[in-house]
């Protein structure tokens, strides 16, 4: 199959997979993304989307592998670092989560969700002062924080 044809087919599979993702049909979406990845091994977005779906169904170790593949193809993919941070958080690997959020923020300094989530993880880790600074930065960037948000 010519390269252009396989890339077009991969794109169609991604579109179908994304529709499944939007419907909450994560296993089906993963199947389409895997088929797309077999045709287009250089598309970081495919691996990112596969990781997002796997995170949704608590397959976080696998999701991290997908995010790593996406990042190997596109080292400036801030959203992949963000999702990787969330997956690490779900696995209770807090230091790894903070490191991933750090990378997302380095690449995209105005990434409100990354500032907020990094602050939340730091709060859980007992780093109250650092958590508050991150939350303040998120608020400064436009986040509306819950009024009862505290870190003791």
- How much is the pTM? 0.93
Looking at residues 87-115, what average pLDDT do you find? 98
**What is the per-residue pLDDT across 68-91, written as a single tens digit (0 to 9) for each?**
999 999 999 999 999 999 999 999
Contact 113, 79 (CB under 8 A): no
Question: Distances from the Cα of 143 to the Cαs of 119, 135, 151, in angstroms?
Answer: 13, 9, 17
Structure tokens at 2: 């010519």
Tell me the pLDDT of the chain averaged across its residues.
95
> What's residue 3's pLDDT?
55
Write down the CATH superfamily of domain 94-152: Tetratricopeptide repeat domain (1.25.40.10)
- The CA-based dihedral angle spanning residues 87, 91, 92, 98, taken in that order and rounded to the nearest 10 degrees: -30
CA 131 to chain centre: 20
Please tell me if the domain spanning 1-75 has the same topology as the one spanning 94-152: yes
Was domain 1-75 assigned CATH 1.20.1070.10?
A: no
The residue-averaged pLDDT of 56-61 equals 98
Please state the domain extents for the chain. 1-75, 94-152
- Closest alpha carbon to 105 in 87, 124, 85: 85
pLDDT given at position 30: 98
């Amino acid at each position: 199959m010519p390269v252009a044809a396989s890339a077009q087919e991969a794109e169609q599979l991604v579109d179908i997979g994304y529709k499944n993702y939007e419907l909450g049909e994560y296993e089906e979406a993963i199947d389409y993304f895997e088929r797309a990845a077999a045709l287009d091994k250089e598309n970081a977005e495919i691996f990112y989307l596969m990781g997002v779906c796997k995170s949704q169904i608590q397959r976080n170790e696998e999701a991290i592998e997908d995010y790593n593949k996406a990042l190997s193809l596109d080292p400036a993919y801030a959203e992949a670092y963000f999702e990787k941070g969330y997956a690490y958080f779900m696995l209770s690997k807090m230091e790894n989560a903070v490191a991933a959020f750090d990378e997302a923020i380095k690449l995209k300094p105005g990434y409100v969700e990354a500032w907020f989530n990094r602050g939340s993880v730091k709060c859980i880790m007992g780093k109250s002062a650092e958590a508050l600074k991150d939350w303040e930065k998120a608020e400064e960037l436009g986040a509306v924080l819950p009024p009862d948000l505290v870190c003791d």
